[in-house]
Amino acid sequence: MASALKSNFEQYCMDYQNAQEEESDARDEHTEKAKDKRPDYELYQKLANVNGKKGDEVVASFLSSVFDEDTRKIEQHLTRYFDLLLADGVLKGSDINHGLSRFSDQLPELVLDCPQIHKYLMDYVIRPLREKNVVQYKHISWKFQKTKKDEDEDDDIIFGTNPFFKLVALILVDMLQNGTNKNQIGQDLDKQLHWRSVLDEKHTHIEDADDLWNEIKDEVGSKYADIVIPILNRTSDPAAMDAQLQQALKK
C-alpha cells in the first residue's frame, strides 16, 4: 500500500509540473491548467472499497513512504495534494487527525532517511491543515487501535523517540503563537489534549536527552524552549520541571 500511495503522489507531482510547463509555453487557451490537475483517486477508492482500508490507515501508510531524501516534492506539492484529497471528499479531517496519531510511532524509523521529518511534517501537513481547521490538536491522541497486522509486525527493536518530542515541541510553539496562553499551555496539554500519558511513555525511550533538548532549543529559540522543554521533560523530575516552567513564565 505504501509504495502504491507514494507512486500516486509522485505521478501527481509529475503531472502538475508537466501541466505548468505546458501552460507557460502554450498559446492555446484550452490547455489544461496545472491547478485543475488531480491525483488518481481510483487507488484511494480501491483501498477503501476493495481492500477495506480505513482512512487513517491510508494516511499513515502514505506518510510513511513520502518522506525521503528528495524533499523538493514535499516542499512543492504535499500540502496541495492533501488539500485536493480533502476538497474532493477522498479523505476526511478525522482521517488526517487519526492518521497522524497512527503515523507518530513510525517517526523514529524514518528519521534516518529524512532527519528533519518532524519539521517537514509540521510545515507541509500539520500547520497548513490546522490553518484550514482540518487538523485539530484536540483530535490527535498519538494513540491508535493496532490491527492484527500491526501486532504481527511489532518486534523487539525500540527506536529513540526524539523525533516525536521535536514534533510536539513545534506543535506547542504553534499553539503559543496562535492564542494559547503561556500560563495555560501545560494544563492544556494535560487536561484538554490528554497527551501526558503518551509523553510519559515515550520519554523512557529518549536517546541522549541533553542533545535532544539542545536541538529543540536551537530549533524554536530560547523564548519558547524555556516554556516547552519543562513541559516535555516533566517525566524526568516533575517538581524540578514545574519550578523551571514557573520561572520561565515570570519572564
Q: Each residue of 213-239: pLDDT tens digit?
A: 999 999 999 999 999 999 999 999 999
241, 233 contact by CB (below 8 A): yes
In this predicted structure, which of 35-39, 60-64, 153-157 has the lowest mean pLDDT?
153-157
What angle in degrees, to the nearest 10, is found between the helix axes of 162-177 and 209-220?
Answer: 30
- Round the average pLDDT of the chain to a whole number and report it: 92
Task: Write down the domain spans for the chain.
Answer: 1-154, 160-251
Per-residue pLDDT at 35: 87
Amino acid at 245: L
Cα(198)–Cα(168) distance, rounded to whole angstroms? 11
pLDDT surpasses 90 at 27: no
82, 92 contact by CB (below 8 A): no
In the chain, what percentage of residues exceed pLDDT 90?
A: 83
Which of 96, 85, 98 has its CA nearest to residue 44? 85
pTM of the model: 0.92
Task: Give the mean model confidence (pLDDT) for residues 30-47.
Answer: 88
Per-residue pLDDT at 223: 95
What residues contact 110, with CB distance under 8 A and at least 6 apart?
A: 64, 67, 117, 163
128, 77 contact by CB (below 8 A): no
Per-residue pLDDT at 118: 97
pLDDT surpasses 90 at 70: no
What residues contact 203, with CB distance under 8 A and at least 6 apart?
A: 161, 233, 235, 236
Question: Where do we find the cell 500491526?
Answer: 150
